[in-house]
């Protein structure tokens, strides 16, 4: 979609959210509302995007990052005033104006609007929707079924207030028509604000063509102004995403209790049990089983993997591996094929090669583990001395006895063993048995002699 620029309005405080966080930064599932709007614009092929910020502008800019331009609205003097702050951004071509608190808008709708605008050669096109209760919305006033003007709630007559066709707050303009309209825009209304809606009437009076596109799905344009509406938007988004995956061959046992982020990719024939949260840039292959109450963030799960009641953050799990229940894979953990990560096991910043078993009650941090290693229960890689972190290296076919402490930096050679209860502080050569514990000494009759 060439020659389309987008202005996103994100300057408001959102007092009805009753939060110190700016309204557009509240999240629907795992993404901020304004991120959804930016994503939809980019997916629709927008050439450039400018976000108009105001309230807590530093926080908003920091959260959004460098992928867009910014304009600052120091005072909130209305939607028209907000768009005017992006004046240097507005030139030839189409200028789409979106609200940062409408996370449900889709790229498909943006494309449809731009195509209609171009085909009809409109100077401005506004998106409307039909609602049963129009309270609070600007009304679309028509004359002979053609667009006449938009009247805000507080400026509406009784007759106008009864109109059910309302403004969604989404517009597309020819850049030159919008700039010309700004020259005549005033704040002569009950609010003393510069309404962007007034530019449509100005464009008509200047001889321009203004049209209306009635929305197919009004849910896309519901603005979020409270925590209640945020929960409603989240429910709609959750349903939309889950239905997409199910239609593409994923089995979701209970869609009402399954939360999947928009950027998640899942291959067919994977089964997801109730209570799961799958977020970020997670990718899940085919024939996986994601058991109940898992939380997976920005991780890569290959094919035929089973994960039970576990937490994964920025981890990678290869084919035919099982994880959990109650395992914790922390960032930069790479787990190989046919590996067993069992209950109450924590892996952090480590590589676990194929065929290894870490079955229970074990911590592996900052380690490189070879193939077909067996970790006994209660093993700890002691990677931190209070100031610095060090790595352990464990070769292939190693047997780590129960309750072994591996004090890094230490290397265990191929085919080596450590005896249960050992604290290993020196390298262990290949094919060796390392024993690092005190000899047992039984004091017979000690209790009677001690008087205890």
Torsion of CA 175, 209, 1, 115, to 10 degrees: 170
Assess whether pLDDT exceeds 60 at residue 227: yes
If pLDDT is split at 50, 70 and 90, which confidence band does 380 have?
A: very high
Assess whether pLDDT exceeds 70 at residue 1: no
Please state the rounded mean pLDDT for residues 151-180.
93
Please state the rounded mean pLDDT for residues 232-246.
97
Q: Catalytic residue positions?
A: 360
What are the pLDDT digits (tens) for 396-414? Answer: 999 999 999 999 999 999 9
Q: Domains (ranges, CATH) in the chain?
A: 4-221 (3.90.550.10), 244-434 (2.160.10.10)
Q: Is 56 left (phi over 0), alpha (psi -120 to 50) or beta?
A: left
What are the pLDDT digits (tens) for 135-156? Answer: 889 999 999 999 999 998 888 9
- Report pLDDT for 190: 75
What are the pLDDT digits (tens) for 302-339? Answer: 999 999 999 999 999 999 999 999 999 999 999 999 99
Please state the rounded mean pLDDT for residues 120-131.
96
Please state the rounded mean pLDDT for residues 169-183.
96
Assess whether pLDDT exceeds 80 at residue 255: yes
Please state the rounded mean pLDDT for residues 153-172.
93
- Report pLDDT for 63: 96
- Report pLDDT for 7: 98
- Report pLDDT for 192: 85
- Report pLDDT for 115: 96
Element (H, E) at 326: none
Q: Is 410 left (phi over 0), alpha (psi -120 to 50) or beta?
A: beta
Rounded distance, CA 267 to CA 235, Å?
23
- Report pLDDT for 188: 85
220: DSSP letter: G
Taking CA atoms, 31 is separated from 62, 63, 314, in Å, by 14, 10, 17
**Average pLDDT across the chain, whole number:** 95
Assess whether pLDDT exceeds 80 at residue 189: no
Sheet holding 351-352: strands in order across?
Answer: 265-266, 283-284, 300-301, 315-317, 333-335, 351-352, 367-369, 392-394, 410-412
Q: Nearest Cα to 30, choosing from 98, 103, 117?
A: 103
Write b or e for each residue in 156-183: b if 16 or more Cβ atoms lie within 10 A of its Cβ, otherwise e: beeebeebebbbbbbbbbbbebbbbbbe
If pLDDT is split at 50, 70 and 90, which confidence band does 242 have?
A: very high
Please state the rounded mean pLDDT for residues 200-213.
95
């Amino acid at each position: 979609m060439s020659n389309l620029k987008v202005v996103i309005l994100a300057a408001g405080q959102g007092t009805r959210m009753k939060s110190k966080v700016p309204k557009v930064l509240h999240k629907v599932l795992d993404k901020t509302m304004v991120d959804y709007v930016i994503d939809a614009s980019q997916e629709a092929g927008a050439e450039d995007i400018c976000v108009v910020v105001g309230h807590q502008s530093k926080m908003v800019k920091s959260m959004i990052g460098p992928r867009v331009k910014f304009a600052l609205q120091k005072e909130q003097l209305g939607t028209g005033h907000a768009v005017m702050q992006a004046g240097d951004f507005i030139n030839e071509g189409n200028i789409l104006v979106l609200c940062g608190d409408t996370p449900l808008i889709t790229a498909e709708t943006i494309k449809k609007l731009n195509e209609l605008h171009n085909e009809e050669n409109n100077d401005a096109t506004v998106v409307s929707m039909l609602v049963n209760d129009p309270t609070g919305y600007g009304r679309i006033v028509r004359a002979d079924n053609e667009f006449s003007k938009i009247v805000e709630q507080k400026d509406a007559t009784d007759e106008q207030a009864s109109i059910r066709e309302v403004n969604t707050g989404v517009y597309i303009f020819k850049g030159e028509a919008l700039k010309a309209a700004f020259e005549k825009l005033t704040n002569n209304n009950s609010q003393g604000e510069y309404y962007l809606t007034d530019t449509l009437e100005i464009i008509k009076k200047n001889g321009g063509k203004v049209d209306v596109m009635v929305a197919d799905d009004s849910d896309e344009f519901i603005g979020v102004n409270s925590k209640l509406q945020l929960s409603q938007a989240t429910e709609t988004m959750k349903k939309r995403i889950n239905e997409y995956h199910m239609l593409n061959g994923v089995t979701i046992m209970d869609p009402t209790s399954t939360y999947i982020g928009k950027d998640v990719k899942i291959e067919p024939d994977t089964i997801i049990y109730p209570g799961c949260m799958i977020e970020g840039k997670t990718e899940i292959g085919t024939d996986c089983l994601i058991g109940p109450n898992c939380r997976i963030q920005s991780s890569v799960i290959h094919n035929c993997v089973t994960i039970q009641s576990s937490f994964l953050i920025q981890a990678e799990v290869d084919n035919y591996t099982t994880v959990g229940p109650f395992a914790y894979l922390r960032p930069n953990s790479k787990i190989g094929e046919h590996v067993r990560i069992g209950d109450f096991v924590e892996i952090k910043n480590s590589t676990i090669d194929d065929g290894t078993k870490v079955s229970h009650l074990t911590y592996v941090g900052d380690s490189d583990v070879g193939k077909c290693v067996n970790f006994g229960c209660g093993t700890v890689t002691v990677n931190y001395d209070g100031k610095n972190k060090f790595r352990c290296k464990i070769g292939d076919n190693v047997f780590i006895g129960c309750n072994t402490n591996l004090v890094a930096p230490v290397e265990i050679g191929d085919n080596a063993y450590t005896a249960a209860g050992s604290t290993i502080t020196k390298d262990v050569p290949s094919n060796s048995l390392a024993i690092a514990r005190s000899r047992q000494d039984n004091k017979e009759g000690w209790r009677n002699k001690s008087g205890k």
